[in-house]
Every structure is written in structure tokens, then in C-alpha cells.
Amino acid sequence: MNQQTLILIKPDGLKKSLTGNVLTRLSETKLDIVATKIVKVSRKLAEEHYSALRDKPFYEELIKYIMGDYHKHKVMAMVYYGESAIDKVREICGATNPEEADPVSIRGAYGRITTKGVYENVIHASRNSEEAEREIKLWFEPDEIIVDIYPTGILELKSVKKRIWA
């Protein structure tokens, strides 16, 4: 079954110049990249992305990490699409804890746990199709994705101010 999944190269991955390595590993899946952008993650976006983990003891550190407070303030967000996309990508990412992840997985090869206990695990990938839908809709507008994956509607705006090139 064709699926879509949200992938984030987290700030440690960008800081450590791992973008190319991660994309090369992901290309083993033969999936299609259908959206990508660099995002400066706001606290609001970070908190919405990790809303299910609000009560965890590591939550505040996790928010700071994904916002880039420990590396650089950016994340590379992507949507990959194709047959069994969710499981294929999770498999290459490896286990959440980088010390337990298969050494040849992305997290196993490049991740670490800091002395503060933050899992710097380089990459995020949606765990299942419900999570993928929630996360893709959180990170991307419909027009930023080159295939139609979820139903869309039209919102007519009367007076909109937007920044344009001067």
C-alpha cells in the first residue's frame, strides 16, 4: 500500500553535516520525495509536534533540542511517499534510543545520548499512518506537497498581508 511519512533531519544532523549521508541512506528505500523545506522551529510547532510526550520528564529538553537550541535553529522537513513508506523509513532510522539502535541504522551510526540525557538521534520519522497524517498536516501546507495525499478544501481570504520580495 502506498503511504506517506514525515521525516525530519533534526538540528544535530544539520549541525554535523549529515544531510547527504541521511538522504543517501533514505534513497535505499526507493521512495519518492514529494516535499521538502528548511524550517526554523518555533516553540509552538515543537510543542505541537511532541504533544503526546508533554508529561515525560525529558519533554523540556526535547523541545529545546528540536528547536535547535543545542545545535542550530533549523530542521529539514520532508515527505516521502511510496509502498510501505512508514515502515521502510522507520527501519532505516533505527530504534529511538541511539545506543540501542542497530549500528548500521541512521540513529545507530550517527546518534548519541548527551550527558543531560537528551537522545540526539538525528532523524524523526512518523510511526504509523495516523501519526503521519497529523504530522504532515502540521509541518506542510497542501501546496507544498507535489502529490495529493489528503483531501483539501478552499479557504477564501478577504484581506491578507504577506511578505513579498521588495
Active site residues: 124
Cell 523540556, residue?
60
- For 98, other C-beta atoms within 10 Å of its C-beta total 21
**List of residues contacting ligand DAT (CB under 6 A):** 53, 58, 62, 96, 117, 119, 121, 124, 127
Nearer CB in complex with ligand DAT: 56/147: 56
Report, in Å, the least distance between residue 66 CB and Mg ion.
11
CA distance 17 to 21: 8
Question: Quick check: 78 and 36 in contact, CB under 8 A?
Answer: yes
Q: Show the cell assigned to 61.
A: 529538553
Nearer CB in complex with ligand DAT: 96/152: 96
Return the DSSP state at 94.
Answer: -
Nearer CB in complex with ligand DAT: 53/147: 53
Instruction: Tell me which of Mg ion, ligand DAT, none is bound by residue 103, counting a contact when its beta carbon lies within the kind-specific cut-off of 5 to 8 angstroms.
Output: none
Cell 506517506, residue?
4
Report, in Å, the least distance between residue 130 CB and ligand DAT.
13
The span of 27-35, 119-127, 141-149, 156-164 binding Mg ion (CB under 5 A) equals 119-127
What binding mask, one character per residue, do residues 123-152 give for Mg ion by CB under 5 A, x or -? ----x-------------------------
Q: Which residue is nearest to ligand DAT (CB)?
A: 96
Report, in Å, the least distance between residue 58 CB and ligand DAT.
4
H-only helix segments in 59-154: 59-67, 85-93, 106-110, 129-139
CA angle 85, 88, 90 (to 5 degrees): 105
Report, in Å, the least distance between residue 10 CB and ligand DAT.
8
CA distances from 100 to 87, 97, 111, 151, 154 (A): 18, 5, 10, 38, 45
Contacts to Mg ion by CB under 5 A = 127
